[in-house]
Every structure is written in C-alpha cells, then in structure tokens.
Amino acid sequence: MKKIIIPAVLAATMVIAGTFAFMPIEKASTVHRSVGTSSIFVSLDGVTLTSVTDNDVVNPGEFILLHDTTPVSVSGHVAVVGPCDDDEFAVGILTGEAPALALTVLAPIGALSTFGGGDDAFTGVCTAHFDFTAETDIAIANITGFTGVGNGVQSDIVFDDEHGVTIFSRPA
C-alpha cells in the first residue's frame, strides 16, 4: 500500500507544479495576487522641502519620491502625519505614473490633529489619509506656495520626528 501512495502523491505534485510552470504570466500573477502586499513607513525627521518656485507647479527639489513600483501598478492606502496650520497641510501627496503625477490636497482629520497658531507658519501636526488605485509612484511635495494654501505664502518645510508617511500597497 505504501508503495502506491508515494508515487501517486509525487505524480499529483508534478502535475500541479507543471500547471503553474507553463501558465502564462498574466494568469500566474492573478493566482498569486495576494502575495504582493507591502506596508512601509517613511520617517521625514530632519528633511527640508523647499517652497515651490512656480505657483502650482512642483519642480525637482520640492518633492520627495516615497514609493516607486514601476512597472507594476499598485492600489492602496496612504496615511500622513505632517505640518499644518489653520486646518490645512503644508504638504500634498503626488500619485500617478511619472511624469504624470496628480496632487492630492490632504484634509486633516480634526480628532487626530493639532492645528498651528494661524500665522501660516505650519506649526501644527495633522493627520490625514486617503486611498489610491492603479498608481506606480507616490511622492510628497511642499505646496505652501500653491494658490489657496497658506494664503499663497511660500515657505520651506522642515520635518521633525513627529512627521512621517505610511503606505500600504497591493497589486492593482
């Protein structure tokens, strides 16, 4: 009896493994989709982001790339703890597929935020979160010079140990 079971189990294993070995890539990734999830935390302590030099345009040096999954698009969730004032963030999150990135202006969660003094100095610490779908790149940008943010006053942003970004992603 033992002699028959071992070859039968070995043959079944080879059939199953052979099915995946010759399966087209698209089908194999669909079967294993749950394997590609990740969660990262990016500390921004000590980092300085310069103010935007051209109103409503983000230039090199005014953003930091946080997550790049090229060539695989991912969907997920971003949580941000960053500088704010008067119920608005000094930073925004860029998502998309470089170079075509779209700005998400963050809305602070009141119960999880301590707002600054209202002097456009962005001395408060606020929390926000949002979901994204089918993106390859995530960056954080200084948006203090953008129209309607901080009364259009440009200022460099210096992050401290309270500030950071958590990103959870999975294949789109």
Q: What is the 3-state secondary structure (H, E, C) of 105-170?
A: ECCCCHHHCECCCCCCCCCEEEEEEEEEEEECEEEEEECCCCCCCHHHCCCCEECCCCCEEEEEEE
Contact 93, 130 (CB under 8 A): yes
- 161 and 80 in a common domain: yes
Query: Which pLDDT belongs to residue 47?
Result: 87
Range of the domain at 8: 1-31
* Omega prior to 24 cis, within 30 of 0: no
Q: What is the CATH number of the domain that holds 127?
A: 2.60.120
- Strands 157-158 and 91-97 turn out to be unpaired
- 44 and 94 in a common domain: yes
Query: Which pLDDT belongs to residue 122?
Result: 79
- 55 and 22 in a common domain: no
- 47 and 11 in a common domain: no
- 165 and 136 in a common domain: yes
Query: Which pLDDT belongs to residue 98?
Result: 84
- 153 and 84 in a common domain: yes
Q: Which residues contact 72 (CB under 8 A, 6 or more apart)?
A: 36, 136, 171, 172
The closest of 62, 74, 80 to 35, measured between CA atoms, is 74
- 135 and 51 in a common domain: yes
- 160 and 91 in a common domain: yes
- 137 and 114 in a common domain: yes
Query: Which pLDDT belongs to residue 155?
Result: 77
Report d(CA 68, CA 138) in Å as an integer. 7
Query: Which pLDDT belongs to residue 142?
Result: 85
Q: What is the dihedral of CA 56, 58, 62, 66, to 10 degrees?
A: 120
- 141 and 102 in a common domain: yes
Phi-psi region of 46 (alpha: psi -120 to 50; beta: other; left: phi over 0): left
- 161 and 123 in a common domain: yes
- 82 and 6 in a common domain: no
Domain count, the chain: 2
Residue 126 to residues 9, 14, 42, Cα–Cα distance (Å):
57, 55, 16
Walking along the chain (172 residues) 10 residues at a time, the average pLDDT comes out as 47 42 37 64 88 62 86 94 85 89 88 77 88 94 73 77 93 88
